[in-house]
Amino acid sequence: MRYGQLVMGPAGCGKSTYCSNMVKHCEVLKRTVQVINLDPAAEHFDYPVFADIRELIHIDDAMEDDALHFGPNGGLIFCMEYLMQNLDWLEEQLDEIEDDYILFDLPGQIELYTHIPAMRQLVERLQQWNFRLCGVFLLDAQFLIEPSKFVSGMMTALSAMVSLEVPHVNVMSKLDLLSKKDKKGLERYLDPDLHSLLGEEFDDAKFGHRFKALNHALASMVDDYGLVRFLPLDPTDEDSVNDVLAQVDTAIQYGEDMEHREQRDPEEPDEPEMDSGID
């Protein structure tokens, strides 16, 4: 069995920084993880990359091709669809990795996780290759501390969760960049009352009754089923990083097989079978 984190989120949310922090944190824990970059638009990394999709295709290949003439968004979608047609390349890279824990640093285009099937196809193929996967969806804390933006981010995370159908952990990243004032008000977004947040943003005096029923239904769906919650991540706090890692490990049951094997001493002889006395 192999294990993987699908590191997702919009551009600039801190995906590559998250991978870097996880690699460093696992080194402290004497755990080895490898990172595979699947973002064809990535520019640089501050962590070792075991495999890089840019060796297969780069976004510039799609944007500069005279026959394609793609912009950044179309080029990124083209690159990911090209990867789906050439998954033997990814399989070859994975076969060379001896460690069983992989971070997949994914592109930051939201459409890939909402209504384009490429990421879902990737998940299905990785599962066929014996991976237990957890989606880690990052959103910048500076973006999430306003009610309307928080609700928007929450629905984006929910859309990705529904689309990929794997265990899912939502992370509020870059807490270290928040001001002291914003940090004090952070609790209401970590355990949100969505009815209250939507009531503040879309009050009757400002919007009338146009959005009231929609907001009520939206808040009820998220609150009643506990669909979306965010874990705070401060990269400067080892305990914070460890809390996120522990949550992901639990979601994919990492280490449980090892613990089960260790419960019984392999040198211990099997217990003799008892004679039932029945002929």
Mean pLDDT by 10 residues, the chain (279 residues): 93 90 94 94 86 93 82 89 95 89 92 87 95 94 81 86 92 89 80 75 64 76 78 93 95 74 51 49
Number of neighbouring beta carbons within 10 Å of residue 251: 19
Q: What is the predicted pLDDT for the residue at 261?
A: 45
Structure tokens at 95: 């076969």
**Which residue type is seen at 82?**
Y
pTM over 0.75: yes
Distances (CA, A) of 83 to 53, 92, 203, 244: 8, 13, 46, 29
In angstroms, rounded to a whole number, what is the distance separating the alpha carbons of residues 215 and 225?
Answer: 16
Distances (CA, A) of 74 to 43, 60, 79, 114: 18, 11, 9, 15
In angstroms, rounded to a whole number, what is the distance separating the alpha carbons of residues 130 and 127?
Answer: 5
Q: What is the predicted pLDDT for the residue at 44?
A: 82
Under 8 Å between Cβ of 110 and 119 = no
